[in-house]
Amino acid sequence: MRWTEKYRPKDFKDIIGNGKQKKEVEAWVKNWKEGNPQQCLLLVGPAGTGKTTFAHVIAKEFSDSIELNASDKRSYDIIMNTVGESATTKSFFTTDNEHKLIILDEVDGIHGNDDRGGTRAIGKIIKESVHPIVMTANDFYSKRLTTIKTKCKVVKIGKIHTNSVNALLKRICFKEKIKADPQAIKELAKRSNGDMRSALNTLQVIADDSKKLTLDDLESVSQKDNTNNIFDSVRRVLKSKSIDKVKNSLRLDEDPTFVMEYIAENIPREYEKPEEIKKAYEMISQADLYFGRAQQSRNYTYWRYASEFMGVGVAISKDETYKKFTRLTGAMAFALMGRTRGKRDLRDRIALKMSEKLHMSNSVAISMFPYMEIMFENDDLAWDISNYLLLEDDEIKRFRKRKIPKSVVTRKEKEREEELAIERAKYKNSFNENIQTSPGTLAFDSNSNEELNESDEVINSSKSTKSSKPRKSEKEKINDKTSKDSEEEKQSKEESREEESREKSKEEKSKEEKSKEVKKDNAQKSLFNF
């Protein structure tokens, strides 16, 4: 068993470092548990500092949790189906007081290629969910977080102090019966640079079998562990003509196509002669071909050839090395170029969203594009469909030239907000009711139109007694706000909402009928079931 798992903290008190942040997180949990919904919690910080661990410890404080991998696109559908949409129309609480924690780990993803829809989905979840959400990310400045972080309570998790890492390593050495040189432990703590995961992994690699740790052991490991940083590699390719050096520098823990983009981006910054630049780009284009082939055939031995071209090929394209300092940049321009050239990508992205939502193959989805264009002529329908499929602006543009008018967007969003307000009021009410009937728990089905009070069902629980006291003022607050007034308001809102939605669905149905007639196609009849 990996020691990172074996020694993963089970409780807040086991998490080392970040004392202030820990308090903030604990307060956030406490608030939720006392019936004060909080903003989504976003834990941002470097690798191996305990973000995922925090999320799991928090999960234990709630009655249930779902964890989704944010870099896996399918996750968004799961979220939208189980949380995003239903959270706003249906309660998750079988018993009140019980919250389902949603964990979205690593929301900044890996390289964020075509996953822009993900950011939008996350934004939607944050806005609409009535459940506590914890997200984690490494890079505070990631583009993916720009909009997300404004809607979250951001807690920055810092590197763990060397002394704390040192102390924990000592404890683990003791438990694992490792004879460790204190200097070696100190050195390992220092080298881990605040990353507890790396400290634990290194310790396990060295000492799991040998049961000893010395400074010499540490040296031998660090020589093997020479993964390069991407900028070092790019610099080496551009600055060197030594084949071995260049080959070595490309032994990177990175997606090689990403490295290629970095090299391509920086060629004209370093190379000055036009013929060198031309030669170097020819090498890049060869590498690109091999990457394409590797991807198509799923035969990744082609990567080796690609690496030769983008590394050695680019390196030897120059006559001699330049004695100058070049500021290297990220692969932005190249990535943008990639995007504009990617009409096919756009098509595939949309097809993927449709196929996942509507359970059809990509090619059937693509064959529906002409019908989509017809449906998108109608502003309301365009909004509904894009909202349902979580289409991005550029994806919407594929089906209609004009943007959806702002007035339509505002109206639609307002309608959605109203639905949400009703749900939130319901949630607060039910929380309130639960306190009143305490000790007890509440089960209600918010899909039903019955009065909440009538559908309450009191069942035994010992949970709520514990916390009923400090909640009293909160209870009164909620009482004041949400008793009779909000009941009536809610009911009338609900009635008018239902009326509207009946109207709307009639209207939509007739529109759908029309577009169906035009193309005499019955297939999409039941597809968009808003």
For residue 279, is it left (φ>0), alpha (ψ between -120 and 50) or beta?
A: alpha
Identity of the residue, 47 or 523, whose beta carbon is nearer to ligand ATP in the bound complex: 47
How many chain residues bind ligand ATP (CB under 6 A)?
20
Binding mask 82-121 for ligand ATP (x = CB under 6 A): ----------------------------------------
Beta carbon of residue 51, minimum distance to Mg ion (angstroms, whole number) = 5
Rounded Cα–Cα distance for residues 145 and 136 (Å): 11
* CB of 76 closer than 8 Å to CB of 40: no
Q: Which does 4 bind (CB under 5 to 8 A by kind): ligand ATP, Mg ion, none?
A: ligand ATP
> Are the CB atoms for 114 and 81 separated by under 8 Å?
no
Closest CA to 16 of 169, 184, 193: 169
CB-wise, 158 or 405, nearer to ligand ATP?
Answer: 158
Rounded Cα distance between 340 and 394, Å, is 11
Task: Return the SS3 of 278.
Answer: helix
Q: Is 13 exposed, middle or buried (0-12, 13-18, 19+ CB in 10 A)?
A: exposed
Q: Which helix (H) or strand (E) holds 71?
A: none
- Minimum Å gap between C-beta 385 and Mg ion is 35
What is the gyration radius of the CA atoms in the chain, in angstroms? 28
Q: Are 215 and 202 in contact, with CB atoms under 8 Å apart?
A: no
Residue 20 vs 278, nearer CB to ligand ATP: 20
Handedness of CA 140, 155, 48, 134 (dihedral sign): negative
* Nearest to ligand ATP of 53, 233 (CB atom): 53
Among 52, 228, 378, 464, binds Mg ion (CB under 5 A): 52
Interface mask (CB under 6 A) for ligand ATP, residues 386-425, using x and -? ----------------------------------------
The most distant pair of C-alpha atoms in the chain lies apart, rounded to whole Å, by: 85
What are the phi and psi torsion angles at 242 (to 5°)?
A: -85, 120
CB of 466 to ligand ATP, least distance (A): 28
**From 21, 53, 88, 240, residue interacting with ligand ATP (rule: CB under 6 A):** 53
Considering beta carbons, is residue 58 or 234 the nearer one to ligand ATP?
A: 58
Q: Which helix H or strand E contains 528, and what residues bound it? A: none
Query: Interface with Mg ion includes 430 (CB under 5 A)?
Result: no
Instruction: Select the span of 48-56, 334-342, 386-394, 502-510 touching Mg ion (CB under 5 A).
Output: 48-56
- Pick between residue 22 and residue 51 the one whose CB is nearest to Mg ion: 51
User: How near is the Cβ of 156 to Mg ion at its closest, in Å?
Assistant: 15
Collect all residues with Cβ–Cβ distance below 8 Å to 292 and sequence separation of at least 6.
Answer: none
| CB atoms inside a 10 Å sphere around CB 384 | 17
Residue 8 contact among Mg ion, ligand ATP, none, beta carbon within 5 to 8 Å by kind = ligand ATP
Tell whether residue 188 is a contact of ligand ATP (CB under 6 A): no
159 binds ligand ATP (CB under 6 A): no
Q: Which of 29, 122, 200, 283 binds ligand ATP (CB under 6 A)?
A: 200
CA angle (145 as vertex; 24, 124 as ends), nearest 5? 90
313 binds, among Mg ion, ligand ATP, none (CB under 5 to 8 A by kind): none
Nearest to 125 by CA among 36, 35, 39, 34: 39
**Residue range at the interface with ligand ATP (CB under 6 A); choices 15-23, 272-280, 340-348, 427-435:** 15-23
Backbone angles phi, psi at 133, to 5 degrees: -130, 135
48 binds ligand ATP (CB under 6 A): yes
Which residues make up the interface to ligand ATP (CB under 6 A)?
4, 7-9, 15-17, 47-53, 136, 138, 160, 196-197, 200
Interface residues with Mg ion (CB under 5 A)?
51-52
